[in-house]
Amino acid sequence: MSRRIIGLTGGIATGKSTVSRFLADTYHIPIIDADLLARDAVTIGSPLLTQICLRYGDSILLPDGTLNRKKLGEIIFSQPNEKTWLENQIHPYVRHQIQSILDETNEPMIMIVIPLLFEAKMTDLVTEIWVVYCSYNEQIKRLVERDRITPAQAIIRIQNQWPIEEKIALADVILENSSTPEQLFKQIELHFSRI
């Protein structure tokens, strides 16, 4: 049996973490989280954090020396060139880490949660693509509540990703998440019952 490497993506705040937690808890599928790897890339003392400080100054740090993610977010979501610069630093690191994990494990099925799977051109790392999405209004609402930002800020962040319709068009599995978690879990279970 060939190895299955599922790439889970979708829009920001559409339910990727909910899907991956359910699969880990219910089916014991190992999860690689690209966002966690990206956080590792900017820990205190890391070369990338040093580069970020050189570019934006030490005011980009919190008093404890960690990255002020909110401040960095304000910069990159208002200045496309800065977003591109930052992604060019982080994406190669994340890709390398994912590849290393895949090389070190022989699990028959792994899920990689990659919010920017298409944008970062990492589709070659996976054997199938799952997209989770919700309605646009629900996405804004969830993002405002989760990140404590304004609706206008949420819209900017959503617009900084590929349109969800384009992701859906390239998906092998589509999960609709505008209703309850239970409805989402039923869709996942239905898919797994066909495997």
Per-residue pLDDT reduced to its tens digit, 128-173 = 999 999 999 999 999 999 999 999 999 998 998 899 999 999 999 9
CA 11, CA 133: separation in Å to the nearest integer?
Answer: 6
Q: Does domain 1-30+109-195 have CATH number 3.60.15.10?
A: no
Note whether 135 and 176 are within 8 A (CB): no
H helices of the chain, where? Answer: 16-27, 34-41, 47-56, 69-76, 80-104, 136-147, 151-159, 164-169, 181-193
pLDDT band of 191, cuts 50, 70, 90? confident
Residue 64 CB neighbours (<10 A): 6
The single residue listed with the structure tokens 């998440």 is 177
Residue 1 has pLDDT above 80, yes or no: no
CA 67, CA 191: separation in Å to the nearest integer?
Answer: 39
pLDDT band of 194, cuts 50, 70, 90? low
Task: State the pLDDT at residue 150.
Answer: 93
User: What's 141-156 look like in SS3?
Assistant: HHHHHHHCCCHHHHHH
Task: State the pLDDT at residue 122.
Answer: 97
Task: State the pLDDT at residue 195.
Answer: 57
Q: Which of these, 85, 4, 19, 14, lies nearest to 48 by C-alpha position?
A: 85
Residue 175: partners with Cβ closer than 8 Å, 6 or more residues away:
10, 15, 19, 130, 131, 132, 133, 184, 187, 188
13: alpha, beta or left? (left if phi > 0; alpha if psi -120 to 50): left
Convert the pLDDT of each residue in 33-69 to its tens digit: 999 999 999 999 999 999 999 999 999 999 999 999 9
Percent over 70 (pLDDT), the chain:
98
Note whether 42 and 97 are within 8 A (CB): no
Convert the pLDDT of each residue in 73-101 to its tens digit: 889 988 999 999 999 999 999 999 999 99
Residue 70 has pLDDT above 70, yes or no: yes
pLDDT band of 118, cuts 50, 70, 90? very high
Indicate where the chain has its CATH 3.40.50.300 domain(s).
Answer: 1-30+109-195
Residue 112 has pLDDT above 60, yes or no: yes
Note whether 51 and 87 are within 8 A (CB): no
